[in-house]
Structures are given as C-alpha cells and as structure tokens.
Structure 1
Amino acid sequence: MQKTEIERLFSYLDETATYLEKNWTSTYLEGLAEAGENLFQKDVCQPLTDEKVKALADFLEDVSSDSEYEPEDIRKAYQLAVLKGMKGAVQSHHSMTPDAVCLFLSYLVNKVIHKKEVVTLLDLAVGSGNLVSALLNHSTTKMVAKGFEVDETLVKLAFVNANLQKHELDLFHQDSIEPLAIPEVDLVVTDLPVGFYPKDDVASSYNLNAAEGHSFIHHLMIEQALKKTKDGGFLFFVVPNFLFESEQAQSLHQFIKKEATILGLLKLPDSMFQAEQHGKSIFMLQKKGSDIIQPQQALLAELPSFSKKEALADMIQQINKWFSSELGIM
C-alpha cells in the first residue's frame, strides 16, 4: 500500500532522528531538528564519516524529490515525530498542544481577525512550533508571527519546522518573562506553561509578582502578553482549569479585569487529559481600548469531545451565534 505524504515524511524524520541518536551525539529530539534541516537544505549537514553521510543521504533520497509538500502535511508529520521524541524526554515542560486544540484555536482566531489585512501574532511559549504553525497554516488573513522559547532543543525544532513550511516567523531563544524588545502585536496565542517562575528578581517588576515565594509563570505570562498587545487586541490562552483557584488567583482576576475584557472560557473535553487535575481550558480576552464592544455576557461552555462531530458542530453554531450577538462578528 502506498504511503501518504504524512507517512513518508514521518518515516524519514523518524529514521533519521533514530539513526543520529544511535550514531552521533544527539538525543532523538535533537536528531529530529537535524533531520528537518537536512530536508530543508536537501543535503546532509552533519559532520560525519562518509559511511554515515551515505546512510543519511539514502533516507533523504526517499523524500527530497521535486514534489512540494503541503505545509499541513509537514506540520503533522513533524508533530508525530516530536510526540514520539517527547515520550522519551524527561523534561516536564516538553509537551505539545494537541492537534484538535490547535485547529479549534485557529477557528476562534479567524473569527476575530477576519477584517484585518495583516495580523501580527505573538506566542510567548512557542515550544516546537506546532501551535503557531497551525495558526499560520489555517489563517484567513496574512499573519506575521513572533515566538519565544527558552528551551534550546525546542526552539531549534520550531525554527526548522517554520523553514520547512515557509512561514514568516521570527523566533527568539529567550525567557519571555524577561523584558522583550518587540513592538506590540494584534494577537497573542499561547499554551501557557504551568508552575513557578524561578527568577524572583525578574518577577519583582510585575504586578502579579507573589508577595512571598516564587510567582506563577502562567500569571506572569498573562501579564507580559497584555503588556505586549495593542489596545483592542485579542488574547487566547490554553490555561489549567484551576487557574482561578490558587492563593494568588484573586490578584490575577483583579489585574485582568483592570486591563482586559474577559470574552470567554471554553473547557476542553476531559477525555483529552490523562487525569482531571491536568484538564485545561481556552481563555479568551480582549485588551481594553476605545473601540471595543463589551459583551453582555461572556462565552462559558464545556466543549464536547472533538471526535463527536454532531455535538461539536452544534457547539460551533452556538459559538458563532455568540460572536454575532455579543461582538457583532459574523
């Protein structure tokens, strides 16, 4: 049976990453970035023996024909390989936004940007680039994106991912809680890392700095995102369901009320998460500004399982109705 383009690409990425893990000084994820780089350059870039270069060139020959791959095929193949690599990685921050969530966020983002000719997008925790590239692939408007990532392996994966998909994405290997020398953007979309932020000296300049002990990184990132969003700009976060249950939740809620309008909170299906305490939601905000429409009521809903097509179609209809009646967005 003939392989699909996604299967061909995944096989190439997986075989090359596995080979480099065994025959070079790289982890599987690092090997994956190298595999992507070879595919982008259409050549073997690693300084290896002739025999090993030949083996890598053979893998490359299977996929680097003249056929152009669709960006979504590249993203999905890359995503599958990264997921495989993350199973073997020990770092807790190595996790990926599920595909269904990326596509649902694309739908929400397209609702709010539909009238703009060009949109500037910021992701403060870009990871391996899966979420940002899904948004770029599905955007109905020209999108210019910036992404920050503190992990060196992940930022390299995101860089190669963007190159292969020919995306306009500026990547910064930097802790995004530290001061950022970038202009304000129209839109922020981030799957927030959850936990404590270790640099108390950096956190001390934030309104949401904890009175004692470490501050929550997910709180600081929301504040940084609002600081970097234009007046009237939109923000979409993937947040833990317990966001407003911690001892620092009250100050977070007060800060958000002062700076933004809460548009909605959409609880993701429980079936997506291994345990209830890992459950997440999509948190929708609009930064305050002179022309914004204050909704009479926020959009609060529990999303059905993404595999239940009819229930999901019904939910999307209800969400479309909310955008139309509350924000005047068709």
Structure 2
Amino acid sequence: MNSSSATSQAPQLIYLVFGADTYHQEAVFSIASALAGMRETPDQTIDIQVFSDNPAPYAKLPVRVRPLDNETRAAWSAPHGYHFRTKHEALRLVLKESDCALLIDTDTFFLASPMRLFDRIKPGTLLCNAFNPRYGDHRQYPLHQVLSERLAARGLADDDMVQLNSGVIGLMREDAGVLDQSIALMDEFYPEVSTSFNLEEFCLAVASYRTKEVKECSDLIHHYWSRKQLFRAKVRAWLAKHGDTPLSPQALDDTRQVTTTLPRPPTWKRLIYKAATAHAPSMQRQFLREILYGCAWHKNEFDRACSSVWWEKAQENAEERMQRALESSELKSWLSHWPVSMLLGKQQEVIYRHLLQHGTRKK
C-alpha cells in the first residue's frame, strides 16, 4: 500500500480528525478496519490521508498525516465558523491533487474492502453514506420552513429531493464542483438556519440534486452515529488489546469482531428483566432494566466491554427524566429493589460505585 505520495493516482481515503482523544481513537480503529478489508483485494492499493492536529495516534499506521492547525481550521470554517464546512474543504483540496477521493467520518468501520466503495465512485456520481427521508417529509424543521420556497424558486430543490447522510462523501476530481456549490450554499444559508446541525449534508444534497447520480454504501461501512457510546466502548476495548500492534494479523482479524450488533440480552433474558422490574416504582423501571442489560454476559469480548456504558446510560436517562441528578442514597435504594438485587448479586456494589464516580465526573 502506497501511503506517502502526495500525487499518487491511487484512490484517496481521507479522515479529518481534531479535538478530543475519542475522535482519534475512532479514526485509528476505522483505519485499521479499512486495512483489514484491503486484505480482500490484495492486488489493489489506496492511499490514506489524515488531516489532524495530533499526528501521534497514527504513528503505527501506514498513513500520511497532514497538519491541521487552528489557522487552517478557522479558514475552512469561515465565514461563519461552521464546523462541518471543513469536511468539504479537505475533500476539495485532495481532489485538486488526485483523481478520486473519499472522505469518511471517524465514527465508522468497514464491513468490506474500501475498494468496493471506490468501485461505486464513477464520473457523474456522488457517493454518500445513506439516503435520508425526502425533503418534504421534514416540513416542521427550519431547513424546510425557511428555505423551501427559495430553493424551489431557484430550481434547486423540491419536496421530492432525497436527503443524504454525509458520513461518506466520495467523488471524482471532475465532479468536485458539487463541493464548490455546496460550500456556497452553506455560506449563504448558515446565518438563517445555524441551529440545523445537518446543514452541511443538506447543502450537499441540494448541490447534487438532479446533477449527480447519488449512491449509498451503508452495506459496506457501519456509521455508528446512533448509540455512539456503545460502539466507542467496543473501539476502546480493541485499542486496549491491539493499540501497540494495530497492524498485526490478530488485530486486523479482531476488527471484524467489532460488529454492528448492539450488545443486548437475548429475548428470553429481557423478559426476565421485565418481570424483575415490574413492581418497581414507575420512575425506576427503565433505569433498572438498562442496568440489567449491562450485566448480561456476551460471548463476544468487545460486546462485553459495553457493560459500563449501559449502566451510565441508565443513570443519564433517569436524570434526564427527573431533570436533576440522582442522589447517592437514591442510587443505593434503587439498586436494592429486591428482585433486581437478587439478579445483580455482587455486581450491585460494583455498579453503585461506578455510577457514583460517573456522576462525579459529569459535574
């Protein structure tokens, strides 16, 4: 795999990573899963580029790290400081240097060789992660309420436009103009719809509507934007095991053990948990079931790493419903509900202490 040449004609796989360690952890695992997938296509090559403020996490990976300083980030986010605008800028830069490029979010992992994604990028095509509902299905949101008439008058979009998820953006160089148009739309619309977190991917959908064949690839990559903490726990477990040797055969094999499955107990066990919590006060039932979900044993070692996430989510969900923090005495009392305490056994004290620490960290 050629990973050092700035002008290589190999397809370019791009990551944009800055800020908290969590994002770097996600990126390292995503890259490892890509390398694992490349073993399915040993006669083909890709280059991997990482635009980052911290090169250290990538030292043991065959990637090209491109410095991303604060000044560059500010310029790429201008004129309104829109964080997600940087994705388009990074991809646009690489497409000036290469024939074909694919930018992928860090919270992803590959289910197949990256070459299968690149196979879907043809002239006149935009590759995205997945299709979202039609524009007209979201009439209650600002993107429709504020912009629909204007977009229709300009012939740019209508209610039949399919929106997209930009966890993946893949283009040929000759189609990079769609990024120019999307950036221009972001800059124009941001002051009016700045609360719309998905403005970037919405503008990309508008820019490509009727002008590009849009394809998706959710069958080839998993984008864990939902239930993110559970998948991050799996990733941390993989890093704890393989962080020092991410390219070893076992490390690459184990990327396939980090599955798309949410680590939930089987149906029969969930029924037991439901029965055990049936007579708990109504405010406590969901909390206790989620605590018990975290106690279920899983054959997959990376699924087992999610236990504490279930416990923490149980606490956070309960506090959100109550609109206040749980007191330590309440935690103790809730975990002592008799049928549940029988199922928890010695884990009851472990969970109690873990949640006390979690509550302290959140303050």
Q: Which has the larger radius of gyration?
A: 2
Q: What is the TM-score normalised by the length of structure 1?
A: 0.31
- Structure holding more strand per residue: 1
Q: What is the TM-score normalised by the length of structure 2?
A: 0.29
